[in-house]
Amino acid sequence: MTKKTAVTTKDLAIEKLWRRGVLHWKLDSAQKDVYNLYKKSKQRKLVITAPRRMGKSYSLLIIAIEAALSDPGTIVRYACPTAFMAQRFIIPTMFDILKDCPSDLRPSYIRHDRSYTFKNGSSIQIEGTDEGNAERLRGQTSHLCIVDEAGFMDDLENLIKNILLPQTLTTRGKIIISSTPPVEPEHYYTTLVAEAKSNNSYLFKNIYDVLNSIKNDPPPMCNRLTLEAVEELKAEVGGELSDTWQREFMCKFIVNQERAVVPEFTQEKESVIVKEWPRPPRYDAYTSMDLGFVDKTGVLFAYYDFKNNKVVVEDELLLNGTEMTTEILANKIKDKESQLWVNPKTLEVQPVYIRISDDDLITLNDLNRLHGVLFIPTKKDEKATAINELRLKVHSEQLIINPRCKELIYQLHTATWTKNRKTFERTERGSHFDLVDCLVYLIRNIQYHRNPYPHDWGRIPGSVLYKGADVINSTADAIKSLFIKNNK
Ligand SMILES: Nc1ncnc2c1ncn2[C@@H]1O[C@H](COP(=O)(O)OP(=O)(O)O)[C@@H](O)[C@H]1O
Ligand SMILES: [Mg+2]
């Protein structure tokens, strides 16, 4: 009897919550982070990267139903990569959620419209975007758009820019874009992630973050995903080092190892290599360029730190081939060089030691004769060997990249060979990994043997051994202390 009353009370509570349009109580703590991002962020586009099995689709549907119930006439568009996925996963999850919905509130599913219609005039349209069906998501207005497993859509950029965004212009509706990382990191989803990171509208979780978030949730929430189940999953998909585990559960944006141009440039390597590096007292500066007319023109500005054996890339330029004249190019290069290599004390600009470029002789001639910017054409033979040299530099951490070189970092992560391994893939962003080419030219042309320090460096009083703390190591310090009188 008591038991029956308790069940009835719970049922009544659930019914009340449905009638108020409140459903987030169905979510576990990891899923509530998705919900809170949607509720709290002021940005129009919200991006989520999270592992399989977290219940991303479940959380997105909860957000959709709450929106539909609480505001009459709300139009929600829910896109997923295939009609098969919609039918096989999304509709059944919707069915699960609606199980305890009071019958008079329950939306009816209209098969040929692929949409749930509520009595208050709201609707949720669920569509697979394969085989041209993204077009079915076009409409006058929409108050909320959801893009589920966005990293697996063929034409995500078109879906977002041409189909969904225009519908939310007048309603100021939000677009939630959720996925596990795509197989090819050079997918438009990666661009959306970068954008969302920079304006605080991004949520990232890997499978262990999820476990950590839900560990104190009451059962059955905390039991939906356990450490044992996760370890079993890991073994099933090929173990810790498998691409599937790393991508779909650890949520790493990894390039297919066989197609990656620089597979050594992992997230871990990035955290060691990408940093500010103290400028040594003497160095040779280099400028390296890859000219493009159909593709972009990339330019890198770097120096070689002889003492520490590091190639240090300080800045980058990426210009659109079609809009560029040799004059614009020359001026941009001169500006960057004079900003970078100016001595802050004397205000003198150190001339660049060598500029290297691929061998478009007419452009290089113009740059030299008309604008005084001399480039030497690089050798381009043995491309594979030259790239291996770059890979070794990354592996041995003899390369440092300043964090402001955002495009170079992006290209190093995403550069892939075409299937025949003869050239690099062309990309959606319109690049041909031009900055990776620049880096290859740079590394093969640096004069590693050239010592930029004068022969009496460190011996004469007044040179940096006596003054500049940045080049004094502890041995030098100890020796110095033997010779300098203590005046106190
Ligand atoms: N909070 C929840 N309560 C009950 N069932 C859930 C919950 N979250 C997810 N599920 C169920 O777990 C399964 C996986 O969820 P799904 O949303 O498909 O995961 P993902 O999209 O992250 O791969 C589905 O069957 C879904 O109904
Ligand atoms: Mg899903």
State if residue 52 touches ligand 1 by the CB under 6 angstroms criterion.
yes
Ligand nearest to the CA of 59: 1
From the number of C-beta atoms within 10 Å of its C-beta (0-12, 13-18, 19+), residue 338 rates as: exposed
pLDDT value of residue 243: 86
Which protein residue has the closest C-alpha to ligand 1 atom 13?
A: 55
- Looking at every residue in the chain, the average pLDDT score rounds to 89
How many angstroms separate the alpha carbon of residue 244 from the centre of ligand 2? 16
List C-alpha distances in Å: 411 to 11, 127, 414, 431, 484.
54, 33, 5, 9, 50
Q: Which residues are CB-neighbours of 156 under 8 A, at least 6 positions away?
A: 147, 150, 187, 188, 189, 192
The atom number, within ligand 1, closest to the CA of 28 reads 1
pLDDT band at 153; cut points 50, 70, 90: very high
pLDDT at 71 over 50: yes
State if residue 27 touches ligand 1 by the CB under 6 angstroms criterion.
yes
pLDDT at 483 over 50: no
Q: What are the tens digits of pLDDT across the range 348-365?
A: 999 999 999 998 888 999
- In this structure, which residues have their CB less than 5 angstroms from ion ligand 2? 56-57
pLDDT value of residue 6: 58
- Out of 34, 58, 251, mutate this one to test ligand 1's pocket (max ligand atoms within 8 Å of CB): namely 58
pLDDT band at 429; cut points 50, 70, 90: low
In this structure, what DSSP letter does residue 170 have?
T
How many angstroms separate the alpha carbon of residue 149 from the centre of ligand 2? 7
Extract the runs of DSSP E, i.e. beta strands, from 219-271: none
Cα 418 off chain centre by: 21
pTM value surpassing 0.85: no
State if residue 57 touches ligand 1 by the CB under 6 angstroms criterion.
yes
The atom number, within ligand 1, closest to the CA of 62 reads 1
Average pLDDT over residues 289-306: 91
For the chain, percent of residues with pLDDT exceeding 70: 90
pLDDT value of residue 1: 43
State if residue 477 touches ligand 1 by the CB under 6 angstroms criterion.
no
How many angstroms separate the alpha carbon of residue 328 from the centre of ligand 1? 54
How many angstroms separate the alpha carbon of residue 88 from the centre of ligand 1? 13
Residue type, 89: F
State if residue 292 touches ligand 1 by the CB under 6 angstroms criterion.
no
Residue from 217, 226, 151 nearest 181 by CA: 151
Q: Which residues are CB-neighbours of 445 under 8 A, at least 6 positions away?
A: 286, 288, 354, 356, 376, 378
- Out of 59, 93, 203, 230, mutate this one to test ligand 1's pocket (max ligand atoms within 8 Å of CB): namely 93
pLDDT at 431 over 90: no
pLDDT value of residue 460: 60
List C-alpha distances in Å: 383 to 264, 266, 350, 422, 423.
17, 22, 31, 9, 10
State if residue 248 touches ligand 1 by the CB under 6 angstroms criterion.
no
Which letter, b or e, does each residue of 401-426 get, where b requires 16 or more Cβ atoms within 10 Å of its Cβ? Answer: bbeebebbbbbbbbbbbeeeeeebbe
How many angstroms separate the alpha carbon of residue 221 from the centre of ligand 1? 11
pLDDT at 113 over 80: yes
The atom number, within ligand 1, closest to the CA of 51 reads 22
Average pLDDT over residues 435-462: 89
